[in-house]
Amino acid sequence: MADRAGAALTRPVDAPGDSELLPQVRIRHWGRWVAGLAVLAVLGLLFQAISRGDIDYASIPDLLTQDVILEGLVDTIVLAVIAQAGAIVIGTVVALMRTSANPVLRWVSWAYIWVFRGLPVLLQILLWYNIALVFPTFTIPVPFTDAYLLDQPANVIMTGFLAALLGLGLNESAYMAEIVRAGLTSVDRGQTEAAKSIGMGPAKVLSRVVLPQAMRVIIPPTGNDFINMLKGTSIASVIGFTELIHAANALSSRSLAVMETLLAVAVWYMVVVSVANVGQYYLERHYNASIRPVGTRGSVWAKVGGSLRTPPFMRGSR
Amino acid sequence: MLVRARGLRKHYGSLEVLRGVDLTVRRGEVVVLLGASGAGKSTLLRCVNHLEAADSGEIWVDDVPIGFRHEGGRLHELREADVARQRADIGMVFQRFNLFPHRTVLANVTEGPVQVRGVPRREAEAYARELLARVGLADKVDTYPDRLSGGQQQRVAIARALAMRPKLLLFDEPTSALDPELVGEVLAVMTELAQEGMTMLVVTHEIAFAREVADRVVFMDGGVVVEEGPPEQVIGAPQHERTRSFLARVTA
């Protein structure tokens, strides 16, 4: 059967004269219509189910701007940004040690990554948070005097914020080290040689030639990690740090509107993550500038608008 | 004598690439290194600006021991940052161009003078435009390297090396990665440089270029210099069997 249909495609037919072109019948994309209708049906059922549920949607907008929730939002963002920034700095240093000619530095950086990537983040946060059990006071003596640069009970210093920052940041720094190392090794050796040949020392070779090119490889996974970090701060709720999840729990334990509060928090996570996505897009575009065809430059909104102008089901039939 | 290499030895693992090489280049001289691949030409060239460190032997460029500091009758090995200063006076042109893809043509050429020599940007740009005009690329200053043909990229690379006002230019098979129709434009620029009196040490397989432009040809094989002399002698009437068989293969 298939053979006969196939044969029909290659059987010679009477070719028309050269008077005029024949009208052409385009393919009908039935699959797209069927898929579209199926999705609409499922969404309809879902909407119906959700609207019948025992939940007070109208209260969610108010919950979004509750003081506790906003405090949690700010703490989440501050913790994620500082932890990620610190991780990028430490990770870059560790990656440079890892690719260094100095065998001692290579070994130390390997061990650093091994420990901080190997232990679960939750465990690392708990270890930092409970460090007072091992070291009741933190002291930094000034050498050759009786004075102290720092002399404080560990409980005062090791707040929930600091424990979460150390746990999340140091764990992430081990991942950043591997990301930066991948970026550094992705740059062709010829680039380093060319930079050396015009008299650049190691610092200039790195900052002017290798790192700018490594950025193209470093940024996408770093953006990925930052989005993970934004959500990963929720783990700090176990030590009572008031990030979004802890704020939601605090609020709903009083109001008992558990699902409403959780959904309000979900909205904030999506907003923050979406903003991070846009930031990543611009960073990537900046570092791709020299290899990107001029025509594809333009704002995100122009791109989104462009793709919406022609509805997907229209494209095949034009 | 601008370049004086003495007793250079270099091995990778068990492979001896250089087995006691002596080489001299006078100021203003064009020396072409010939030889089959694996003869040690590129390694020798890369030792001259210390991209590779020789295991033993010395290289002096303009009475400076490359990779070392001369003090108290001894040569003290230099750190990379100090070697960099010595390299600034020695230009190099690579087989694969190695232009900086994230910088425009103009920025590629001004990078060395501005970042290494501390030349004011406007001054560096004026000289870069002059050099790019000399290699026939005045209209490409704001282009990125990936928009250029191989021949154009190599001419930018030559301008980048010249921008440092080097005492010596090293060429490591500068036309080997080019499409045949683009080889001529690069050789033309090199010929012009030679006529202007630039000191050049060139590794190439372009026998015609060696015959016409070189003051002296050095033939290497198996990590040693087999014979050297003016091109009409080494290429025209080679004394050694190994030189003859090499020339027979490349000119066949």
Strand ranges (E), chain A: 137-141, 148-153
Phi, psi (degrees; rounded to nearest 5) at B94: -100, 160
Whether the CB-CB separation of B218 and B34 falls below 8 Å is answered with: yes
B166 chain-A contacts, CB cut-off 8 A: none
pLDDT of A250-264, one tens digit each?
A: 999 888 889 999 999
Q: Do residue A202 and residue B117 have CB atoms under 8 angstroms apart?
A: no
Q: Which of the residues B98, B109, B154 would you substitute to probe the A interface, choosing the one with the greatest number of A C-beta atoms within 10 Å?
A: B98
A186 min Cα distance to partner chain B (Å): 14
d(CA B121, CA A4): 74
Query: Is residue B51 helix, strand or coil?
Result: coil
Whether the CB-CB separation of A192 and B78 falls below 8 Å is answered with: no
d(CA A174, CA A183): 15
Q: Do residue B90 and residue A196 have CB atoms under 8 angstroms apart?
A: no
The percent of chain B in helix, strand and coil, each rounded to the nearest 5, is 40, 25, 35
Whether the CB-CB separation of B168 and B2 falls below 8 Å is answered with: yes
B81 chain-A contacts, CB cut-off 8 A: 201-203
d(CA B95, CA B246): 21
Q: Which DSSP string do the residues of B148-217 spell out, in sequence order?
A: S-HHHHHHHHHHHHHTT--SEEEEESTTTTS-HHHHHHHHHHHHHHHHTT--EEEE-S-HHHHHHH-SEE
Whether the CB-CB separation of B148 and B140 falls below 8 Å is answered with: yes
Q: Do residue B99 and residue A194 have CB atoms under 8 angstroms apart?
A: yes
- Examine the pLDDT at A240 and tell me if it is beyond 80: yes
> Any bridge partners for residue A155, and if so which?
none
pLDDT of A95-110, one tens digit each?
A: 999 999 999 999 999 9
pLDDT of A120-132, one tens digit each?
A: 999 999 999 999 8
Helix/strand/coil (H/E/C) assignment for every residue in A90-138: HHHHHHHHHCCCCHHHHHHHHHHHHHHHHCCHHHHHHHHHCHHHCCCEE
> Any bridge partners for residue B171, and if so which?
B93, B202
d(CA B23, CA B31): 10
User: What would the two tokens of residue A124 be?
Assistant: 């690392």
B96 chain-A contacts, CB cut-off 8 A: 190
Q: Which of the residues A100, A102, A197 would you substitute to probe the B interface, choosing the one with the greatest number of B C-beta atoms within 10 Å?
A: A197
Q: What is the pTM of this model?
A: 0.83
B157 chain-A contacts, CB cut-off 8 A: 194
* Residue at B204: amino acid letter: T
Q: Which of the residues A96, A100, A189, A198 would you substitute to probe the B interface, choosing the one with the greatest number of B C-beta atoms within 10 Å?
A: A198
Q: Which residues contact B83 (CB under 8 A, 6 or more apart)?
A: B50, B66, B67
Helix runs in chain B, H state only: 41-48, 80-87, 105-112, 121-134, 150-162, 180-195, 207-213, 231-234, 241-251
Cα–Cα–Cα angle for B234, B235, B239, rounded to 5 degrees: 45
User: What would the two tokens of residue B25 be?
Assistant: 């280049």
- Examine the pLDDT at A292 and tell me if it is beyond 60: no
Pick the residue from chain A with its C-alpha nearest to B52: A193
Whether the CB-CB separation of B124 and B114 falls below 8 Å is answered with: yes
Angle between helices A211-232 and A258-287 (to 10 degrees): 180
Q: How many CA atoms within 13 Å lie on the side-chain side of A7?
A: 4
* Residue at B113: amino acid letter: P
Pick the residue from chain A with its C-alpha nearest to B147: A291
Cα–Cα–Cα angle for B219, B220, B222, rounded to 5 degrees: 155
d(CA A241, CA A236): 6
> Any bridge partners for residue B31, and if so which?
B201, B216
Q: Which residues contact B84 (CB under 8 A, 6 or more apart)?
A: A196, A199, A200, A201, A202, A204, B116
Q: Does A204 touch chain B (CB under 8 A)?
A: yes
Neighbours of B186 (CB within 10 A): 25
The band of A19, judged by pLDDT with boundaries at 50, 70 and 90, is: confident
Neighbours of B204 (CB within 10 A): 22
Whether the CB-CB separation of B162 and B132 falls below 8 Å is answered with: no
Q: Do residue B80 and residue A191 have CB atoms under 8 angstroms apart?
A: no
- Examine the pLDDT at A93 and tell me if it is beyond 60: yes
Tell me which of A62-66, A141-145, A238-242, B61-65 is least confident: A141-145
Length of chain A counted residue by residue: 318
A185 burial via Cβ count (<10 Å: 0-12, 13-18, 19+): middle
Whether the CB-CB separation of B55 and B63 falls below 8 Å is answered with: no
B144 chain-A contacts, CB cut-off 8 A: 290-291
Query: What is the residue-level pLDDT of chain B in tens, covering all 252 positions?
Result: 999 999 999 999 999 999 999 999 999 999 999 999 889 999 999 999 999 999 999 999 999 999 999 999 999 999 999 999 999 999 999 999 999 999 999 999 999 999 999 999 999 999 999 999 999 999 999 999 999 999 999 999 999 999 999 999 999 999 999 999 999 999 999 999 999 999 999 999 999 999 999 999 999 999 999 999 999 999 999 999 999 999 999 886
- Examine the pLDDT at A17 and tell me if it is beyond 80: no
Q: Do residue B84 and residue A199 have CB atoms under 8 angstroms apart?
A: yes
